[in-house]
Amino acid sequence: MTQTLLAPAACLTNPLHTRPALDRLSSQQPTGFELPVTSQTSPFPHLFTPLKVGRQELPNRILMGSMHTGLEEQGEEGLARLAAFYAERARGGCSLMVTGGFSPNPEGRLGAEGGFLVDADASHHQQVSDAVHAHGSRILLQLLHAGRYGYQPDIVAPSPIRAPINKTTPREMDETDIQRTIADYARAAQIAQAAGYDGVELMGSEGYLINQFTAPRTNKRDDRWGGSFENRARFPVQVIKAVRAATDPQFIIMYRLSVLDIVEDGSPFEEVAALAKLAENAGADILNSGIGWHEARIPTIAQAVPRAGWSWATERLMGKVEIPLIATNRINTPETAEQVIADGHADMVSMARPFLADANFAGKAARGTPEEINTCIACNQACLDHYFKGKDATCLVNPRACRETMLTWKPADTARKVAIVGAGVAGLSCAVTAAERGHDVTLFEAATQIGGQFLLARHIPGKEEFNETLRYFRNRADAFGVSLMLNTRAEAATLADFDDVVMATGVAPRVPDIAGVDHPCVMTYEELLSGAREPGKRVAVIGAGGVGVDVAVHLVERGLRSHLDPAEFRSTWGVAREPEDHAPSHDVVLLQRSTGKMGAGPGKTTGWVHRLVLLRANAEMIADVSYRRIDDEGLHISVGNEDRLIKCDSIVLCAGQVSVNALADSMKADDRPVHVIGGASFAGELDAQRAIEEGTLLGSRL
């Protein structure tokens, strides 16, 4: 996809309005950041203490970890977009980053189109390294051989055991395959060095090929590459040695060690620690942490994981090697990152998704303005879920991520008076983008707070992070002089004086046409989540879409435990112990009319977490339902040909939404031009990603 998504700002006509703070344009388009910040001047002194890695000295301890974007698989065009993506992060103050995965040979590709590095002429990669070096930063290329996790026919592995998340059984590697693959790693590292990369990250975790050699689960060999720990560790050790021998001494070798496999027959801690030492001795300069294989059934990066919920797994290795250790997973703020290092859990922190959410993360941390950071909310919706659906990754809270060359905007030629009605995320993103470009924006909101549906969603376990998005928007709106009119229901007359009117009036819960739906036991999800109504003990949830699943999870977990506490997370999910089951706080029956799989919700990489929570809480899930009526006995349904009564104290309606657009309709009827965005334009399949993207796009065009 090469076309420009947006035309440059239109030539506008009203010169009367002044522009606020255009020098700060824009939070999404970095204007450059001067490093270094020292530990004396930074509010995050541990984070901004330099770190020696091999023969290099890094100015701080922030790593932008590897994030596969899908662009790795799109040849030169993809690399050009990656160059812009990384350059923007380098300009935003990130001093070390790792690319998405490239295989050292064709059989190690993630998919049939997967990127690999075998051609001695990799000069097209030079644009990536040059773009990063231009801002004084460094970049490592990740070498990732997928082994049995490849979604293509020619996959190989130490033993011919199919992964539970793959349909293809791998071919067992013979001695020649193994020797050739080690040589392929060395050659790929040489090519990366020639293309200007500052080093490589060898992906040894998450259940990919190297990890498949080290764990008894996937290595059933009885030759010198399997059996004893020494034999299983031989492959990573030989790979590191070969890469070290093939590259210059200052070329950084980062080894991503699986500090916790979280699968049956994974490596015990003693072997993990021993492998760390072997990797160091073989020539690794720094060890990154990998947590959990992709087939693990404990969340490792989803919203269910508290911030820094896995850094203890890296901390166990501190002192066991001389080289620096990097902690990772669900570290999404400078405060959390600082704490991880201050607590001695690691020497450095890796953050991948937070750099999709905000290219200027490191610069804002260095400047001491963390409140300006657009925080990753760990939803996976536009990054990992996109990748696994074959779409380019981007970010729910930052639609420019991975579209840096396509989604650009400039200061408006002439400031216009813009009214935006509705301060949900569609209205907010439109308001801040338009205001950053210099427009004079007034944002009307009938409620007492900004946020719309986010105000409700933040009550769902794990979605507390949505508060950060609202903090970010509030801050941007203040910085760029948006006039925020809370408690103000805009009328057509109020909007008469504006050059542009944007309707972002959002959605209201759909009330389905079921006999007795006005019974006192019935409430909408909005009434439940806002706290306006209290549910009884036994609750029927009508509708099992994203909101129905969220509400069901909210009901079973309500008030039971803190979702922010790593220790509680470990006991709930049985990390390094048996899981502790709590009696659910409500007995939930989740219902849908269609016949598909229930309880997973919309997220490909997160839906299983919700389903597992509901199954463990003994929530009943009933599909293929016809709703007959609601009365004092409860909810009467038919399932197939059978009538059933769901005895319940409360019924929560999660049957989708309808647009709220009466004001837009009346203005259109009077022939007054309005822009309608977000749920007000189309309620079906509304999600926050579409709302923020539509708002941002319109704000950049006004």
Total residues at the site for ligand NAP (CB under 6 A)?
24
Write out the two tokens for 501: 């009117």
Least separation in angstroms between CB 343 and ligand NAP: 31
Q: How far is CA 297 from the centre of its chain?
A: 18
Residue 87 engages ligand NAP in binding (rule: CB under 6 A): no
Q: Which of 366, 303, 348 is nearest to 330 (CA)?
A: 303
Q: Looking only at residues 385 through 414 of this chain, which bind ligand SF4 when binding is defined by CB under 6 A?
A: 395-397
Q: Which is nearer to ligand SF4, 444 or 569 (CB)?
A: 569
Minimal distance in Å, beta carbon 377 to ligand SF4? 5
Shorter beta-carbon distance to ligand SF4: residue 59 or 101? 101
Q: Does 512 bind ligand NAP (CB under 6 A)?
A: yes
Answer with the entry of ligand SF4, ligand NAP, none that 686 interacts with (C-beta below 5 to 8 A by kind).
ligand NAP
CB atoms within 10 A of CB 40: 8
Distance CA 465, CA 688 (A): 14
Amino acid at 299: P
Tell me if 62 sits within 8 A of 348, measured CB to CB: yes
Q: Which of 489, 485, 423 minimizes the C-alpha distance to 454? A: 423
Classify residue 313 by its DSSP letter.
Answer: H
Q: Which of 25, 128, 547, 609 binds ligand NAP (CB under 6 A)?
A: 547
User: Please, which of residues 379-398 interact with ligand NAP by CB under 6 A?
Assistant: 381
Query: Which of the listed partners (ligand NAP, ligand SF4, none) does 377 bind, with a CB threshold of 5 to 8 Å by partner kind?
Result: ligand SF4
Q: Is 336 left (phi over 0), alpha (psi -120 to 50) or beta?
A: alpha
Residue 466 CB, nearest distance to ligand NAP (Å)? 10
Residue of 115, 207, 399, 548 interacting with ligand NAP (CB under 6 A): 548
CB-wise, 430 or 547, nearer to ligand NAP? 547
603 binds, among ligand SF4, ligand NAP, none (CB under 5 to 8 A by kind): ligand NAP
**Torsions phi, psi for 394 (to 5 deg):** -150, -155
Q: What is the dihedral of CA 61, 67, 73, 78, to 10 degrees?
A: -60
The reply to whether 208 belongs to the active site is: yes
Question: Residue 228 — φ and ψ, nearest 5°?
Answer: -65, 165
Residue with tokens 């991880």: 340
593 binds, among ligand NAP, ligand SF4, none (CB under 5 to 8 A by kind): ligand NAP
Q: Which residue is nearest to ligand NAP (CB)?
A: 545
Residue given tokens 């704490």 in the structure block: 339
Report in angstroms how near the CB of residue 556 gets to ligand NAP at its nearest. Answer: 16
Binding mask 351-390 for ligand SF4 (x = CB under 6 A): --x--xx------------------xxxxxxxx-------
Closer CB to ligand SF4, 426 or 590, in the complex: 426
Asked whether 546 and 590 are in contact (CB, 8 A), the reply is no
Residue 85 tokens, joined: 């993506």
Q: Taking CB within 5 to 8 Å according to partner kind, which of ligand SF4, ligand NAP, none is near residue 687?
A: ligand NAP
Stretch in the footprint of ligand NAP (CB under 6 A) among 29-37, 155-163, 168-176, 685-693:
685-693
The CA distance from 338 to 346, in Å, is 10
Residue 40 main-chain phi, psi, to 5 deg: -75, -35
For ligand NAP, which residue of 449, 594, 626, 666 counts as binding (CB under 6 A)? 594
Binding test (CB under 6 A) with ligand NAP, winner from 115, 543, 566, 599: 543
Shortest CB 683 distance to ligand NAP, Å: 8
Closest by CA position to 652, among listed 567, 580, 544, 501? 544
Residue 357 and residue 395 in contact, taking contact as beta carbons nearer than 8 Å: yes
d(CA 54, CA 119): 27
Rounded least distance, CB 594 to ligand NAP, Å: 3
Helix intervals (H) in 120-228: 123-133, 175-194, 209-214
For β-strands 500-503 and 417-421, DSSP reports them as parallel
x/- mask, ligand NAP, residues 335-374, rule CB under 6 A, reads ----------------------------------------
Structure tokens at 217: 């689960």
Measured at the CA of 402, the angle between CA 396 and CA 404, to 5 degrees, comes to: 110
Question: Which among 208, 255, 472, 627 is annotated as catalytic?
Answer: 208
- Among ligand SF4, ligand NAP, none, what binds residue 546 when CB lies within 5 to 8 Å by partner kind? ligand NAP
User: Closest separation between CB of residue 516 and ligand NAP, Å?
Assistant: 14
Residues taking part in catalysis: 208
Q: Which residues of this chain interact with ligand NAP, rule CB under 6 A?
A: 381, 510, 512, 542-548, 550, 592-594, 601-603, 654-657, 685-687
Q: Which residues of this chain interact with ligand SF4, rule CB under 6 A?
A: 353, 356-357, 376-383, 395-397
